[in-house]
Amino acid sequence: MDQYITAAVIKQLREKNKMTQLQLAEKLGVSDKTVSKWETGKGYPDITLLEPIAKAFRISLTELLSGSTVHNANVSANMLRSKFYVCPVCGNAIHSMGEAVIHCHGIQLLPAEAEETDEEHMLFVERVEDEYFVRIDHEMSKTHYISFIAAVSSERCQLMKLYPEGEAEARFMIRGVKKIYFYCNRDGLFVHDIVKGIDDKVSGYEDTQERRELEESAKQLFG
């Protein structure tokens, strides 16, 4: 087991649930002195008590061990709340519709923070019939590459895994796509908002400066 429940977590969860040490003890079949020892770091709950403790606090065992409570605010299953987790060891990319507690190779992963595209991570979109052809102006060497591209709408996430020495491009069904995400193995996650009046055109734009000027014009016209 890579992590174990800590004194601070037990106390925090107990107080959050407005329970006394005695009330928690009664739920678990132990004494309030035992709970006090846990909360002061003078002892640890037996492994057989972990599931009952999680149940008492109405959280999952994973949340209990990680010390991070998942607040399920994404009840509408809106993909636009998408979060991406990337393992620094194996490069595994994991998608969720909201907060999650995710581990890979013994590491608790944090959601990657998406930045706007920049001059070194420029993305171009071209409409080809009912698809978006997405291309990223980026090297694809063995040490520096784009590992995935994802197109997200309110109801679906289309994710394309990429590999070093391949092409930094992908095709996605247009229907409802609002955001394009991509991940650089060195610089992290980037996001591009589909711009009305630019990304829905049949022809793309090869010039970075031209696209920037068009984006600014589109923002003024369409908000």
User: What pLDDT score does 74 carry?
Assistant: 46
User: What pLDDT score does 77 carry?
Assistant: 52
Between strands 115-116 and 122-128, the pairing is unpaired
Angstrom distance (rounded) from CA 140 to CA 150: 17
User: What pLDDT score does 208 carry?
Assistant: 54
| 107 φ/ψ sector (left φ>0, alpha ψ -120 to 50, else beta) | beta
- Residues 78, 84 contacting (CB under 8 angstroms): no
On whether the 7-66 domain is CATH 1.10.260.40, my answer is yes
Q: Where are the domains of the chain?
A: 7-66, 79-109, 115-222
User: What pLDDT score does 59 carry?
Assistant: 86
For the chain, how big is the Rg over CA atoms in Å? 23
Alpha helix segments (H runs only) across the chain:
7-16, 21-28, 32-39, 50-56, 61-66, 208-222
* Partner residues linked to 161 by β-bridges: 148
Angstrom distance (rounded) from CA 125 to CA 86: 24
User: What pLDDT score does 81 carry?
Assistant: 84
Q: If DSSP states are collapsed to H, E and C, what string results for 161-220? A: ECCCCCCCEEEEECCCCCEEEEEECCCEEEEEECCCCCCCCCCCCCCHHHHHHHHHHHHH
- Residues 78, 97 contacting (CB under 8 angstroms): yes
CATH tag, 115-222? 2.60.40.730
Query: Considering Cα of 190, then 140, then 126, then 121, what sign does the dihedral take?
Result: positive
User: What pLDDT score does 144 carry?
Assistant: 93
What does each of the 223 residues of the chain score in pLDDT, given as a tens digit?
345 677 888 898 999 999 999 999 999 999 999 999 899 888 888 888 889 999 999 888 877 877 665 555 444 457 788 899 999 888 899 999 877 788 888 788 889 999 998 888 989 898 888 899 999 989 999 999 999 999 999 889 999 999 999 999 999 999 899 999 999 999 999 999 987 656 655 555 555 566 566 656 655 554 4
* Partner residues linked to 173 by β-bridges: 131
Residue with tokens 């492994």: 47
